[in-house]
Structure 1
Amino acid sequence: MTAPALAPGLLVAAPKSGSGKTTVTLGLQRALARRGLTVRGLKSGPDYIDPAFHAAATGASAANLDSFAMPPALLDGLAAEAAAGADLVVAEGSMGLFDGVGHTPGRTGASADVAARLGWPVVLVLDVSGQAQSAAAVALGCARFDARITVAGVILNKVASERHRRLVTEGMERIGLPVFGALSKAAGLILPERHLGLVQAGETADLAARLDALADAVADAVDLDAVVAAAQPTRAAAPAHPVLPLPPPGGRIAIARDAAFSFVYPHVEAGWRAAGASLHPFSPLADEAPDETCDALWLPGGYPELHAGRLAAAVRFRAGVRRFAETRPVHGECGGYMVLGETLEDEAGVVHPMLGLLPVATSYARRRLHLGYRVATLLADTPLGPAGAVLTGHEFHYASVTSPSPEPREAFATVTDATGAVLGPTGHRRGSVTGTFFHAIARG
């Protein structure tokens, strides 16, 4: 049987965070979808929020690609699945184009790794505020820094005037890079944000109207035909056998899903379904209990620190989870881990009782950024695998643990960072309940 042809793709990236690549990506995706193209969005890196915006902009499912945390076969399979059902893949980078970790070529987590592996040209978004021809030096550095990739052209962002646009464009002409478009500083391409990134797609008021406004601005300022023409065929071979990112914790999985619990990687849920599991969402904020017919319970990350009072008052939710945990596995990631703990201190310093199923107390009032890849070795049999299994994941939160660190006998796993530095035991396990601050991405 002949494999389906794979659509061409490109990667929208930038030299640094805050350049506008997310809003430009969403504008491109929406504008091209409105032209009648089947567009698929993919996000490089461990971002739980942007794929939901990609899905809203394109009307099709989106996923993450991660060259550090994912085995190459899994990354290829996700890219091939997206490209097989599309006319064009418009992927988005994370941080700066070359920002990664470790020293294994092609496995650093940098967006450039994804572009190189899949053969996608880079469309570079440049925030040109405060500079003119000097922007070309930045673009030239990006074009020459890594011989594996091709920078197809640039989209200028935050252009102050027609004269400013002309001066920047003259610099690009000097180095031979096409300018696909220039977005005015006055365009106001902004989506609301909070402490972990964009306000989630499901919480963004008038999301469709906002996406259409982004598409209008990009269509008016960018040569969409040139962007489409720059895309190149996706180089990804779907593996002979599907790669399961993580084992499903059960056959019927109750999963919390609302504004407090929403950080689940799309590829993880898709992998569970492909393995035959079914997912049964419920809303703790609506004081719903998990489905009693399920055989596993998953509390994802999210923003429980913004809803701690409501969660503490959710009587049916609290009783239902405690009853579930008496006989079946319950796992919490990041925000879910915090809710499984004893208490959660909110930003105002008010301490709220949580489920009390794990001996951990957390505080959002005592904020400190925790960020980075994690390589975890499980210390006991858990819903994510047997003792000794290795998982790759990512940690990104501001909450601090105010209770003592777990003893190895009660910890969920031992972890290292991306460099191999030992970080010690992390998370907790008590009976059938487990939890950790890191979000699992794939088996190691």
Structure 2
Amino acid sequence: MKPQFLIAAPHSGAGKTTVTLALLRALRRSGRKVQPFKCGPDYLDPKHHTLAAGQTSVNLDQYMMQEQHLLELYHWYSSQADVSIIEGVMGLFDGARKMEGSSAALAALLDIPVILVVNAKAMAYSAAALLYGYKHFFPEIQIAGVIFNFVNTPSHYRILEEAAADVGIPALGYLPEQPEVKIPSRHLGLHISAETDYDKIIDAAADHLTAHIDLEQLLQQTLRPAVAATAPATTPSTQLRIAVAQDEAFNFTYRENINALSQLGPVTYFSPLTDTALPEADLLYLPGGYPELHLPQLAANRTLLEQLRQYKGHILAECGGMMYLGESIVDENGTAYPMVGLLPVQTSMQRKKLSLGYREIHIGDVVLRGHEFHYSQFTTPPDITQTDIRVLNARNEILTTPVFHTSSILASYMHFYWGDQLTGLKTILGLP
């Protein structure tokens, strides 16, 4: 038996990320090995998880991943830890279509309990009705406890505790509001930067949580049988050389994508910001990130830009990586910075508009899944999608999202997941 649970909330903004980070750090400080996971496609929350837990966080996504692959990932990484914690996404029942891919659906699939974080700042006994609804709406899950957030007095908490008791959900404690543990945000979500001492913030959050929450009660409430698991394969099937861009500008990568690429050969890393020479590579992977925050430095690295223009291998570029391969990127002030120029596109941070959602791309007979999440836009809509390429959203509606595909390049605004679809990726890229 091991503690395993998913942290959820009725809605975004209830504080589940901060509670997750505090729990990860508090359990780590207690001497336990704790494995973090993230429900959904988010890149940024797992970075915070990894920092808090000292273990790399793993995404679990029922839209992008095949079910068996997801189960194998969860059981393998959980088997290596004393405690497993999944941070949910949005509200507990919010999915791509109704509940599909939601935190609740994931908890049901994995048969693990839910700890609900409720923003009770402006709520008293009415919490009973909310908790009753969440307990009974989807009987396939168990809500093992509730943490009331933004509650500043013991008298307020006593009312909430009574509400939880009347519904039959254990109240695990309350957290007073504490601005010192707020994590700065950026336009794509909570952000990690070199300027902020996140270890200090997470330590403060852990101190705050342990002063008000009974961790041992929480762990007892979430005990579940451990499942035997086997390690994923690690022996390369070929010996391609793979180079991945990784720095402050490009860092939106899934752990399992990199693990899958390692099946093709050794993976090395380079920085488009600071390196003046490309590694010897058969495949370049340019993931998304924040190139728009580093445009002068990227444009000034002319040596690397020229090497990329002359590169003869295969390239996979996603979102920020695709922008970097274009002719230029325009910042919020209207200044255009020259980029690689391999793609006939220009992108801009002016007139920002959120593009968000799951995506399924069909190229010939190959299907890859991923998601789109960006504020930048093309300066003029490019016509670069071939007739044999279709892009669908989670409702199977056809989209006009441009995709650039040649015998050696695949580039678009989409972030792909290929941890269980490496063969399809190889086919699209023309890799041996």
Whether TM exceeds 0.5 here: the answer is yes
1:91 and 2:83 aligned: no
The equivalent of 1:134 in structure 2 is 126
Hey, what does 2:430 align to over in structure 1? none
199, 209, 224: which one aligns with 1:208: 199
C-alpha contact 1:412 1:429 (8 A) present in aligned 2: no
Contact 2:76 2:230 (C-alpha < 8 Å) held by counterparts: no
Does the alignment pair 1:397 with 2:384?
no
Q: CA–CA distance in 2 between the matches of 1:164 and 1:425? A: 50
For residues 268 and 8 of structure 1, the distance between their equivalents in structure 2, rounded to whole angstroms, comes to 27
Task: Give me the CA root mean square deviation.
Answer: 2.4
Residues 298-320 of structure 1 deviation map (CA, whole Å, 9 limit, x = unaligned): 11100111111221111122122
Matches of 2:149 and 2:211, distance apart in 1:
13
For residues 436 and 408 of structure 1, do their structure 2 counterparts lie closer, same or farther at Cα, with a shift above 3 Å needed?
Answer: closer
Residue ranges of structure 2 left out of the alignment (5+ in a row)? 425-432
Partner of 2:217: 226
Residue 41 of structure 1: aligned partner: 36
TM-fit CA distance, 1:238 = 4.7
SS in 1 for 2:157: helix
- Give the letter for the 1:257 counterpart: Q
Deviations 1:406-435 (A, max 9, x none): 2443x8942100000011352213452331
Q: 1:283: how far off?
A: 1.1
CA contact under 8 A between 1:14 and 1:96: conserved in structure 2? yes
Q: Structure 1 residue 260 and structure 2 residue 249: aligned? A: yes
Equivalent residue letter for 1:282: F
Q: Structure 1 residue 9: deviation in Å? A: 0.8
AA in 2 matched with 1:163: S
**For residues 11 and 113 of structure 1, what CA distance do their matches in structure 2 show?**
11
The C-alpha deviation readout for 1:40-67, integer Å capped at 9, x for no partner, is 0000000111112111111112210011
Residues 235 and 112 of structure 1: CA distance in aligned 2, closer, same or farther (over 3 Å): farther
Query: What is aligned with 1:30?
Result: 25
Moved more, 84-93 or 155-164: 155-164
Residue 354 (structure 1) aligned to one of 339, 344, 347: 339
- Aligned runs of 1:297-376 on 2, under 5 Å? 297-324=284-311, 327-376=312-361
**Corresponding residue for 2:412?**
436
Q: Is the CA contact (8 Å cut-off) linking 1:73 and 1:243 kept in structure 2? A: no
Quote the Cα distance in structure 2 between the aligned partners of 1:155 and 1:297.
45
Measure, in 2, the Cα distance between the counterparts of 1:177 and 1:438. Answer: 41
Structure 1 segments, 4+ long, off by >3 Å, are: 234-244, 247-250
Match of 1:163 among 146, 149, 155: 155
CA distance in 2, matches of 1:237, 1:98: 29
User: Which residue of 2 is the match for residue 426 of structure 1?
Assistant: 402
Q: Using the alignment, how far apart are the partners of 2:212 and 2:388 within structure 1?
A: 51
Counterpart amino acid of 2:378? V
> Displacement of 1:288 after TM fit?
3.5
Following superposition, the deviation at residue 239 of structure 1 comes to: 7.6
Which runs of 5 or more residues in structure 1 are unaligned?
1-5, 379-386
Secondary structure of the structure 2 residue equivalent to 1:251: coil
CA deviations 1:184-238 (Å, max 9, x no partner) are: 01364311110001113x6462222222111111111111001111223267675
Q: State which drifts further: 204-213 or 365-374.
A: 204-213
Kept in 2, the 8 Å contact 1:413–1:425? The answer is no
DSSP-derived class of the 1:406 partner: coil
> How does the TM-score come out when normalised to structure 1?
0.89
CA, structure 1 residues 138+204, in 2 after alignment: closer, same or farther (shift >3 Å)? farther
TM-superposition CA deviations, 1:168-199 (whole Å, max 9, x none): 22211221211112110136431111000111
> Structure 2 vs 1, CA of residues 204 and 95 (structure 1 numbering), >3 Å: closer, same or farther?
farther
Match of 1:383 in 2: none
Counterparts in 2 of 1:249 and 1:24: CA distance versus 1, 3 Å: farther
1:192 paired residue among 167, 175, 184: 184
Partner of 1:296: 283
Equivalent residues of 2:181, 2:201 under 8 A apart: no
Contact 1:119 1:234 in 2 (8 A): no
2:269 maps to 1:281: yes
Contact 1:290 1:297 in 2 (8 A): no
TM-score by length of 2: 0.91
Conserved 8 A contact 1:341-1:355: yes
Aligned AA (2:64): A
Equivalenced residues, count: 420
Counterparts of 1:33 and 1:429 in 2: how far apart (Å)?
Answer: 45
Alpha carbons 1:287, 1:315 under 8 Å: kept: no
User: Which residue does 2:429 correspond to in 1?
Assistant: none
